[in-house]
Chain A
Amino acid sequence: MKDSDCVKVTLRPSGATIAATRGKSLLEILTGKGIGIPAICGGKGKCGKCKVRISEAQASVMPTFLECSLLSDREIGLGYRLACQFIVNEDVEVQVSSDNKAESSQSSRLSLELGPSILPAVRKESLSVPKPSVEDQRSDLRRLTDGITVENGRIRRLELLKRLPSFLRENDFTGTVTLYENEIIDLRSKTDNSHILGVAIDIGTTTIAMYLLDLENAIVLDSRSIPNPQSVYGQDVISRIDYAASPNGLTNLKNAIVEGLAKLSRDIISDANVSSEQVYDVSVVGNTTMIHLLLGISPQGIALSPFIPVTAEEMIFEPFEVHLQESFPNAKIYIMQGISAYVGSDLVAGIIRINLENEKGNALLVDLGTNGEIILKSDSGMLAASTAAGPAFEGGHISNGMIAKRGAIDHVWIDGKGKISFSTILNSVTTGICGSGLLDTVAVLLEKGILASSGKLSEDPFVLHNELGAVTITQKDIREVQLAKSAIRAGIEVLLSEAGITYEELDRIFLAGAFGSFVNVSSAVRIGLLPDISTDRILSAGNAAGEGACICLLDRKARDLARALSNKISYVELSGCKRFSEYFINFMTFPKEANS
């Protein structure tokens, strides 16, 4: 880089400096250094979330048209700009909100309790074979495979074969064999008693979760999650696919996920006082786009009609093939079978976790996210659909929306005196509102008559305020909720009518996904997001996808089930479906009165 092309970006309050190429956007420069800036729209100047404060000297740079429309005059006067719009041509000082970084790298703990191990794909067997002699001239490999209980045992890893002769002779033809199905994947001395470990991974568009399991005792040692580091390239699946088409886009996305997994695995393995070499099995689930991006396969076909993924099949890789050899040098990387471009293995894992197939009567599994995925199990089989709810439930496209983190309004209710009250996450000063708070607000406003069933807000904007601060809800925010909830509900209704049942005949609704776990079920019913069934029949399924991936580590029969499910489940395409459009419009209004 020539000196003349180089500019200095100073971060406040830390004072750290970044050398950058002149002419790049601030967003590119900051995210390139791993500084988490929320950019829900992928840096297109549409969401207004990548707000940063620029030092005085540079604040005189004219704001762009987009900045003027997304920031208030006061904000612009104070030096706020959108990082995606601000092109750095001179040295600049930037104030970056301190919790952006701290919270984006924080690992949160999840919990899971599982039954005893049944039949893991990976297991160990002790070995003791006769020494070679003139009478017994079998090859080392033949001697090894003859000495284990598995039929057609084999070695595929060349490095292991190279190690074989010295291993046998140094260990006096005894030891421990690690098997993955019928493949010998490692040889260890008899004295090495360390347990076989497995890692389950759920790659969500927003969050990545990782679980570390002891496969010999069938217990979860630890679990962690981090925000998906690909988020800087766009918040939803479509904007990531879009970014993947740009030069180096696919590589950047792949590297981001691989680095995120490396970080998670380093933390989880070192905190558990184990070695990464003990991990022999890694089970990965995720939506179909995330799996494409992990494998470095172009996901372009997923975005366009007729929505064809390169693969949704079960696959097993060596760690180096998917660039995970640093994190899991000895493991096999198992990718669970998915269903279609928009119903991925995360949903299949969820079905396995809640044992939907054996659920009595009619049951619905709904994963509420940017893409709402819906599975309906009825007597006539299983149906799946995916519907684009948009990012409203995750705080996107909402004027004061944010993801569920410190300071977000998470619950809103009417107190005993009829006053609207709310709580915030960690009881902090309000910084915005997250999906669960937004849904509660809509329900409360309907109850109070401030919001008509048509969606017309009589106090625009409505201000939620208490001692923790104030947040405004605008008419436009309500419209976003209407679109999002109607997309999910219309998807549910299409599947119900496809199966020939009515919502009253639903025995259970399981809510999966982070948002599904936090949402107040009565509010979801009140606004018409979910059908009006008794709320005790609506259950949170927690982190069903990640837990389903754990089950696949402990029980290889679950993998057979995953493959069988993908053939059994009929996918109903909602795009271009006339009935979906009709439901979508009909359910856009809110139910007139709460029945329960």
Chain B
Amino acid sequence: MIELNDISQAVIEGNAKKAKELTLIAIEKNVPPETILHKGLVPGMDVVGQKFKNNEYYVPEVLIAARAMNAALDILRPKLATDAANYKATVVICTVKGDLHDIGKNIAAMMLEGAGFRVIDLGIAVPTEKVVEAVKLNKPAILGLSALLTTTMTNMKDIIEALEKEGLKDSLKVIVGGAPITEEFAKSIGADGYAPDATIGVQIANALIQGIS
């Protein structure tokens, strides 16, 4: 089991090379990929999230850690059974129409992935229709929306209204985030959660899916 702790440590240190090597060794030793994910990578990202919350880590460290996690995940993904059992839930995430900011959204996506969610990232400046389409296709439990401009955050409301129109809103929970967003705004547009940062985003996602299941 010592490799699993080392894998966590490699993620915390942001050492992509080491994370990759240790993951390969673990696979060779017949450690089930699910175990590597849930006992190695996820606890590592958990520590990263804690450090971010305590102000010990900032955006660069989190991204470097996430890069290390992704390096290991790239090896694991083909070996993981794609059935839902391996994931807590599916999250569709994007930056809304008119808005090209992606760093915050990427951090949130990687933290969610690190917390054991299946994350489908639609990218930046995603038109409302595309979001609705992706929801129909992937049936996520959670939709994460990011906006960094006061002029684009209103597009979040459009998306929620479009989902309601299509009768899709009740099947999922919407979490919104980004610099100009406030708790009040989130409530006013009918979002289910407001994430002031990525770690809180993960907490809320966890709480919301417990509410669902």
Contact = CB atoms under 8 A, between A and B. Distances in A.
Given A65-B183, A238-B150, A242-B151, A585 B103 contact: yes
A474 to B, nearest CB: 9
Given A456-B56, A576-B102, A581-B103, A303 B149 contact: yes
Nearest to A574: B100
B58 A455 contact: yes
Interface in A573-596: 575-576, 581, 584-586, 588-589
B61 interface: yes
Contact of B103 (A66, A239, A475, A584): A584
A581 B102 contact: yes
A448 to B, nearest CB: 19
Contact of B55 (A46, A300, A456): A456
Contacts of A45: 182
B99 A305 contact: yes
Contacts of A241: 151
B101 interface: yes
A1 B151 CA distance: 34
Nearest to B59: A588
A482 interface: yes
A460 interface: yes
A163 interface: no
Given A305-B125, A584-B103, A454 B61 contact: yes
A454 B59 CA distance: 10
Contacts of A300: 151
Given A65-B183, A585-B63, A305 B55 contact: no
A46 B185 CA distance: 12
Interface in A45-94: 45-46, 65-66
Given A475-B55, A576-B125, A585 B151 contact: no
A304 interface: yes
Interface string B100-129: 111100000000000000000000110000
Contacts of A456: 55-56, 58
A479 interface: yes
B5 interface: no
Contact of A46 (B63, B98, B125, B182): B182
A41 to B, nearest CB: 9
A61 to B, nearest CB: 18
B167 interface: no
Interface in A237-255: 238-239, 241-242, 245
B60 A239 contact: no
B58 A586 contact: no
Nearest to B58: A455
Interface residues of B, number: 23
A537 interface: no
Nearest to A482: B58
A239 B180 CA distance: 10
A44 interface: yes
Interface string B32-71: 0000000000000000000000011011110100000000
A482 B103 CA distance: 14
B86 interface: no
Contacts of A242: 150-151
Contacts of B183: 65
Nearest to B55: A475
Contacts of A305: 98-100, 125
B55 A575 contact: no
A304 B58 contact: no
A65 B125 CA distance: 32
Contacts of B182: 44-46, 66
Interface in A163-193: none
A305 B152 CA distance: 9
Contact of B100 (A66, A245, A576): A576
A379 to B, nearest CB: 31
B55 A460 contact: yes
A586 B102 CA distance: 15
Interface string A432-459: 0000000000000000000000111000
B140 to A, nearest CB: 24
Contacts of B152: 303-304
A479 B58 contact: yes
Interface in B69-88: none
A236 to B, nearest CB: 10
A470 to B, nearest CB: 22
Contacts of B184: 65-66
Contact of B151 (A304, A576, A581, A584): A304
A585 B65 CA distance: 13
Contacts of A476: 55
A585 B150 contact: no
Nearest to A64: B184
Nearest to B103: A581
A455 B56 CA distance: 9
A584 B101 CA distance: 12
Contacts of B101: 575
Interface in A217-252: 238-239, 241-242, 245
Given A576-B125, A589-B60, A304 B98 contact: yes
Nearest to A577: B100
A245 B152 CA distance: 12
A300 B150 CA distance: 11
A588 B149 contact: no
Nearest to A304: B98
A455 B55 CA distance: 9
A475 B58 CA distance: 11
A245 B151 CA distance: 9
Nearest to B183: A65
Contacts of A454: 58, 60-61
B150 A586 contact: no
A586 B125 CA distance: 24
A238 B60 contact: no
A255 to B, nearest CB: 22
B141 to A, nearest CB: 28
Contact of B59 (A44, A245, A585): A585
Nearest to A244: B151
Contacts of A588: 58-60
A48 to B, nearest CB: 13
A589 B57 CA distance: 11
A493 to B, nearest CB: 15
Nearest to B148: A388
Interface string B166-210: 000000000000001011100000000000000000000000000
Contacts of A46: 180, 182
Given A65-B184, A456-B55, 8 more contacts: A300-B151, A305-B99, A456-B58, A575-B101, A576-B100, A576-B102, A581-B102, A588-B59
* Across the A-B interface, the 6 shortest Cβ-Cβ residue pairs: A576-B100, A304-B98, A303-B151, A575-B100, A242-B150, A475-B55
Interface of B: 55-56, 58-61, 63, 98-103, 124-125, 149-152, 180, 182-184
25 contacts: A46-B180, A46-B182, A65-B184, A66-B184, A238-B149, A238-B151, A239-B150, A241-B151, A242-B150, A245-B151, A300-B151, A304-B98, A304-B99, A304-B151, A305-B98, A305-B125, A454-B58, A454-B60, A479-B58, A576-B100, A576-B124, A585-B59, A585-B103, A588-B58, A588-B60
